[in-house]
């Protein structure tokens, strides 16, 4: 009987003993933080250029227009290869055959559809030139051989990833310098970095619009600069 009473008393004491409850997460003081973003931009001289060039031919029949176009385009491609441009760097970008309609007012009283007066064939290639110094001479030759359509010239960098890494380092330096300035002005100090996020990464080649009016004699075209930009956001704890 004594043992039973003692066991009952011990169980009662254990039931009434205070239980340690961990503090809820929201009871902890929130960390003070600062979050900023900044960009790093690296510019370089382009080491490649892409050209959209082609031949447009017109004739009374589709067959005649195609034959004329094929002859002119074959000379252009042959010349490009003769200049050391590899076949992999010459890619067909557009090929089309379509009718040419007579020009007349839309409100013609007879209501008949415009008559077909000929056919137009367009063959366009995208050329990757890995020696930008040859650009003027290449344009001179392809125009002389019948290329009457040069839609764009785009200077760029063959391997922009290495430049992106430089831009990342520069972006991190810029955002850190800005954060130190803000912290000093606010009378606080930067603590450990809590997160780094790359918000944006872009490669900006230098693009020239239509150059169809260029003629022979090595048209002077300057490569200028190409740019790689990376934007990062960094979150610090502040003390």
- The domain segmentation of the chain, as residue ranges, is 30-45+159-212+225-239, 48-156
Tell me which of 1.25.40.80, 3.40.50.2300, 3.40.190.10, 3.30.110.170 is the CATH number of domain 30-45+159-212+225-239: 3.30.110.170
The DSSP string of 119-179 is EEEEEEEEEEES-GGGHHHHHHHHHHTT--EEEEEEEE-S-THHHHHHHHHHHHHHHHHHH
Fold matches, 30-45+159-212+225-239 and 48-156: no
pLDDT at 213: 41
pLDDT at 88: 92
Tell me which of 3.30.70.2970, 3.40.50.300, 3.40.50.1010, 3.90.950.10 is the CATH number of domain 48-156: 3.30.70.2970
pLDDT at 233: 95
| Digitized pLDDT (tens) for each residue of the chain, 239 residues in all | 444 454 444 443 344 445 454 555 556 667 889 999 999 999 888 888 888 999 999 999 999 999 999 999 999 999 899 888 999 999 998 999 999 998 765 555 666 777 889 999 999 999 999 988 888 888 888 888 888 888 888 888 888 888 899 999 999 999 999 999 999 999 999 999 999 999 877 766 655 555 444 444 555 566 677 788 899 999 999 88
Residue 169 tokens, joined: 């380092």
Q: CB neighbours (10 Å) of residue 58? A: 15
203 by Cβ neighbours in 10 Å (0-12 / 13-18 / 19+) ranks as middle
Q: CB neighbours (10 Å) of residue 94? A: 13
Q: Find the largest Cα–Cα distance for the chain.
A: 123
C-alpha angle 105-97-61 in degrees, rounded to nearest 5: 75
Q: How far apart are CA 136 and CA 150, in angstroms?
A: 13
pLDDT at 104: 66
pLDDT at 8: 47
- The residue behind tokens 């020239």 is 208
CA distance from start to end of the chain: 64
Q: What is the pTM of this model?
A: 0.60
What letters, b where the CB count within 10 A reaches 16 and e where it falls short, cover 138-176? bbbbbbebbbebbbebbbbbeebeebbeebbebbbebbb
């Amino acid at each position: 009987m004594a043992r039973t009473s003692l066991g009952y008393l011990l169980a009662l004491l254990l039931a009434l003993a205070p239980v340690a409850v961990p503090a809820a997460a929201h009871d902890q003081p929130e960390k003070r933080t600062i979050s900023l973003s900044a960009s790093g931009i690296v510019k370089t001289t382009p080491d490649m250029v892409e050209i959209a060039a082609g031949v447009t031919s017109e004739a009374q029949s589709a067959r005649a227009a195609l034959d004329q176009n094929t002859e002119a385009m074959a000379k252009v491609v042959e010349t490009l290869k003769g200049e050391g441009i590899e076949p992999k760097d010459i890619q067909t970008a557009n090929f089309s055959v379509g009718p040419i309609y007579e020009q007349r007012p839309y409100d013609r009283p007879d209501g008949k559809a415009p008559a077909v007066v000929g056919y137009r064939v367009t063959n366009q290639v995208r050329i990757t030139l890995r020696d930008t110094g040859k650009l003027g001479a290449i344009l001179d030759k392809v125009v002389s051989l019948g290329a009457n359509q040069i839609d764009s010239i785009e200077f760029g960098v063959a391997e922009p990833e290495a430049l992106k890494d430089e831009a990342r380092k520069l972006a991190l330096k810029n955002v850190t310098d800005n954060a130190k300035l803000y912290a000093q002005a606010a009378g606080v100090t930067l603590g450990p970095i809590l997160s780094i996020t790359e918000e944006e990464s872009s490669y900006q080649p230098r693009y020239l619009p239509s150059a169809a009016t260029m003629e022979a004699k090595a048209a002077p075209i300057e490569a200028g600069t190409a740019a790689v930009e990376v934007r990062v956001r960094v979150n610090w704890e502040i003390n």
